[in-house]
Structure 1
Amino acid sequence: MEKQIIAFIESLKGDKRLSSLDEASTKQAIIIKMLSLLGWDIFNVDEVKPDLVVKSYMVDYALRKNKFNTVFIGVNKAGEELRKDQKEILASAISEGVKLVLVTNGFQWWFYLSFQEGVAEQRKVCAVDLHRQKPEEAASRLISLLEKGNVTSGNALKKAETMQEARQTRAVDRYLSEAWQGLMKRPPDVLVKLINEAFEKLSGYPAEGKVIKKYLGLWARGEACEEIIELKEPVAKAPASYEGRKIQSFNFKSHSHSVDSWDRFLTRLCGLLASEFSEDLEKLLWHSVDGKFIFRDNPEELRLPLNIDGTNIFVETALNPDDTVKVARSVLKLFGYEGSELDIALTK
């Protein structure tokens, strides 16, 4: 079998007429002949089913075992460039439970695992090119993935899965280090924040974000990290209770805001959120704290309502300081912030 396939590949490479074949002629002159050499009974539709319609898509050939589809084949005319996007045939394969897919123009043979995650290019197992590869190498690949015995025994699928794992391993070896280096040189704010939080738990002090970025850049380049982390003032731990305490200011998203009362603290914080989430602000009306609705658009439904600046929503201010802080942290969580992102400064 292998010698016959090698001889056939050599004959294809030397036949210049093939580049002008249309799709039907490509099937007859190349695809059917190759399948026959690979052991398939091309005259038995229970083995090689042509023009299989899957929903609204036509699969050129389905290779079958006991009348069950095992491989889908899509054919382009000889010499026509194969598209990287093969979502139609891959989707058809998934809908029929077919795991191995081949797309070919007679000279290029692209194999895919349909159930792999990602776009078509990520699901490609290997590419056989009869023009560029040695006939012996091309024949070996075609036999391992498309020969009848290998397909019906499941060995072809196992081989394809092994190839895919090896391909992914090579990609990790080649690109992961490069990706990590790039990330360290330009670390996103969320990474800097996570590092700073861990650093503060260990030291009791937060660090400047720019210093963390500089440190990561030095580390990525393999340079000595002898920079001394520039520390901010220690952040005071939140008291067990705010009862009887007077608020001076609060810090949110690295900005300090002076306020003269707990009521003003709550409306000011809500006003900041309102300017950022104006389209989602109405969800405040359905937000409750300890089973109580704190925000209403009708002030008469509240005992001591105060208007949130720039909105038609009112907040209940008949709250003690501890409940006020609880409401504030609950609202932050509602809009995707952590309660730790709010710092409150009290008068001494």
Structure 2
Amino acid sequence: MGLRETVERIAAMSRPPANEEAAKIRVLVPILAELGWDVHDHRDTGEVLWEHPVGPGSGAGQKGRADIVLAKTGHGHRLVCLIEAKSPKEDLSKHVDQLMGYAFHEGVDICVLTNGLEWWLYLPREPGPAASRRFAELRLSSSSHQQVADDLEAYMGKANLYGGEAERRAKEALSKLREAERLKTEMPKVWRRMLDEPDQELVDLFARRVHERVRLRPSPEVVTAVLQGKSVDAVPATVPGDPPKGRHPRAQVPRQESPRRGAAMASRRPRAVVLWGNTTEVKSWVGVMVCVAGAVYQRHPHDFLERTKAMAGRKRPFASQDPADLLRAGRISSAEVWVETNLSADDTLKKCKKLLEVFGYSASDLEVLTKE
């Protein structure tokens, strides 16, 4: 019978063990045997020691006794795992401190507290309170039997305890549990701080999602108030300069290129760029390109040049720190970076929207308001 079958048989018992001794005989002995331990060697130098004296004390009569201790034999005799067995009716939490005291004193790698159907596994030499040193909790009645068998083999298998692999895996499991617990504690705090003091990135993201859904662009003040759970009745709902009910002519990229449509677009002069809730006046299509590039650069100054390599033409880059690299260089305000502005009105719009998409934004974030 294999380990999984043994776990399944124990989990299916009609009546759980009545006391500690029954738990040892009906549960622990068959499981330890499947894990490779010689449960029939009762010598003091054997690998499975029963009622073994442990803990501080000057003599055997003054020491405590561990129900089962697993030992590494051969070159020397070292205790590697201490097991305390309790009745299924016992509250295991009442015995943790004693178990950890014994295990730490004896210097074992792993210690186990079990009532046969529930197994608590600890790393006794780790720092912190006992509860923070528990790296696994196995329940034969409710967990996957294969998973229980795999975990028992990983942490209590003879070969793994002998070679130190059990302790290594246990430390990995404990580290992941502690990381998960820290995330569980810290993530709500981070989210609360983000809502209480939203940064520009969060405000812009929220405003963009609102605009995509209802085609209205909330002001930063409205977004901040909503994120903080405050009333927004007295705050303007949209950014000044957004199109009112009567439409402003809006520059759009044509679906198909044609000389006539391109000429019509070129005849319109841009008057403002609306991007991420901010409205900026411009006087030309060069101004549109520089305005949009500057806004993106402010958010991504460290990787702007690297990421805009994807927008390079066949012979020239789109952005450069050397204006001589470009046919018609437009300087981004307050930066030693230039962008290509030798573009038609249509191409300017395309480049601006492509630039937004390269940095993970939506092309719909951009509106160019034009004069008739």
Give the TM-score normalised by the residue count of structure 1: 0.50
Give the TM-score normalised by the residue count of structure 2: 0.47
Larger radius of gyration: 2
